[in-house]
């Protein structure tokens, strides 16, 4: 198939483009490069042996987006492109609602007008809100604690309504848990701009000497060691979930939500220990107060995705850390531009 991937130069997008190309699909990337690098596209080509077409377009630019659809005639869409920093979304709600909602609406309208109704959407476990019952199952009510989270809840609702109105749409909302790690080649990885918000990139930047020490946000949560528990999933496993979802949508259609997680939770201190075991490098850290908005624990029940997609993720935390470190060590300052 010819698959248009929005945000295909980004962290999860780039790994997914490699998986799609390896499966024989032709990929067109639409990315405004606001939080990604064109170098990632060169690296995709190097790994997969095929150069994906790149269109530097902002999804909020409706005319430019429609033009890409007219020119490339995609048969399916994987939609990653969005703003994703939780704290920033609290400070800049309108920017988040405009970008994520208008960008999404433009994309879905372009799809309808160009007779392309197969979509895999990047959702998030953030749609389970602030005090979930664990493990998280897809049937749980959805709500959010940040504008970022609400954009995911709202887009899932829009897609539910779209499928209800016209059963020709085939849609899978993938609720990611905590994507981490890097391509085992060390050529693709996470390259946050400025200070990393997320745990693993912060750890690897400490290990490579870009930051002095990690701050552990909170050690008095009601968890076994007091630090927050999350379901960390290797980004390549996550990428493979998109291919599995596309196959399922092609076979059976419908609107679906699928958790993409491992089903296991690990605390912040366990992640630090796994990184130290995998790399032999000590990670200095200090414990501070909890980060506003963080919940004590979050992990998936991934059985629906295991059963319906024939997909599972069980890459160990040590392998995840080794891969993240290989990327960071080979690219201490991230991508070259």
The answer to whether the beta carbons of residues 19 and 239 sit under 8 Å apart is yes
Q: How far is the CB of 201 from ligand UFG (least distance, A)?
A: 8
Site for ligand UFG contains 88 (CB under 6 A):
no
3-state SS class at 203: helix
Among the residue ranges 94-102, 135-143, 195-203, 329-337, the one whose residues contact ligand UFG (CB under 6 A): 195-203
Q: How far is the CB of 295 from ligand UFG (least distance, A)?
A: 7
Query: Which letter does DSSP use for residue 52 in this model?
Result: P
Site for ligand UFG contains 228 (CB under 6 A):
yes
Q: How far is the CB of 314 from ligand UFG (least distance, A)?
A: 20
Site for ligand UFG contains 198 (CB under 6 A):
yes
3-state SS class at 48: helix
Query: Which letter does DSSP use for residue 136 in this model?
Result: B
**Dihedral sign from CA coordinates of 219, 318, 7, 137:** negative
- From residue 279, alpha-carbon distances to 3, 65, 236, 317, 320 in Å are 37, 44, 20, 12, 11
Q: Which is nearer to ligand UFG, 215 or 303 (CB)?
A: 215
217, 283, 303, 315: residue in contact with ligand UFG (rule CB under 6 A): 217
Closest by CA to 109, choosing from 169, 179, 46, is: 169
299 as an active site residue: the answer is no
Instruction: Please list every residue from 149 through 178 that binds ligand UFG, using CB under 6 A.
Output: 178
Q: Kindly name the residue from 148, 232, 299, 335 that is annotated as catalytic.
A: 148
Tell me the H-state helices in the chain: 11-22, 38-48, 62-72, 86-91, 93-97, 103-113, 147-165, 199-207, 235-252, 268-279, 303-309, 317-330
> Nearest residue to ligand UFG, using CB?
228
Site for ligand UFG contains 223 (CB under 6 A):
no
Q: Which is nearer to ligand UFG, 224 or 254 (CB)?
A: 224
Rule CB under 6 A: which residues touch ligand UFG?
A: 84, 86, 124-126, 178, 197-199, 202, 214-217, 228, 230, 268, 291, 294, 298
Question: Which positions are catalytic?
Answer: 148
């Amino acid at each position: 198939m010819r698959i248009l991937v929005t945000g295909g130069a980004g962290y999860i997008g780039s790994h997914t483009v490699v998986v799609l190309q390896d499966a024989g699909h032709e990929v067109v990337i639409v990315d405004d490069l606001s939080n990604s690098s064109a170098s990632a596209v060169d690296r995709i080509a190097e790994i997969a042996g095929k150069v994906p077409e790149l269109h530097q377009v902002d999804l909020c630019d409706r005319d430019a987006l429609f033009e890409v659809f007219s020119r490339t005639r995609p048969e399916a869409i994987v939609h990653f492109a969005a703003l994703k920093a939780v704290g920033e979304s609290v400070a800049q709600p309108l920017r988040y609602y405009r970008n994520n909602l208008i960008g999404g609406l433009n994309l879905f309208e372009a799809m309808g007008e160009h007779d392309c109704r197969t979509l895999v959407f990047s959702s998030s476990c953030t749609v389970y809100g602030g005090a979930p019952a664990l493990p998280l199952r897809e049937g749980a009510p959805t709500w959010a604690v940040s504008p970022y989270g609400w954009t995911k809840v709202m887009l899932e609702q829009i897609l539910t309504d779209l499928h209800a109105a016209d059963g020709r749409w085939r849609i899978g909302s993938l609720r990611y848990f905590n994507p981490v790690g890097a391509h085992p080649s060390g050529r693709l990885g996470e390259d946050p701009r400025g200070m990393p918000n997320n745990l693993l990139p912060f750890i690897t930047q400490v290990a490579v000497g870009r930051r002095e020490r990690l701050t552990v946000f909170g050690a008095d949560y009601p968890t076994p060691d007091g630090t927050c528990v999350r379901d960390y999933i290797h980004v390549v496993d996550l990428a493979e979930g998109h291919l599995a979802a596309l196959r399922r949508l092609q076979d059976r259609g419908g609107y679906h939500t699928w958790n993409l997680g491992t089903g296991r939770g690990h605390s912040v201190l366990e992640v630090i220990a796994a990184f130290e075991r995998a790399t032999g490098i000590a990670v200095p850290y200090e414990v501070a107060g909890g980060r506003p908005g963080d919940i004590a624990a979050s992990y998936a029940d991934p059985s629906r995705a295991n059963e319906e997609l024939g997909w599972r993720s069980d890459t160990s935390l040590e392998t995840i850390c080794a891969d993240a470190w290989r990327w960071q060590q080979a690219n201490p300052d991230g991508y070259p531009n």
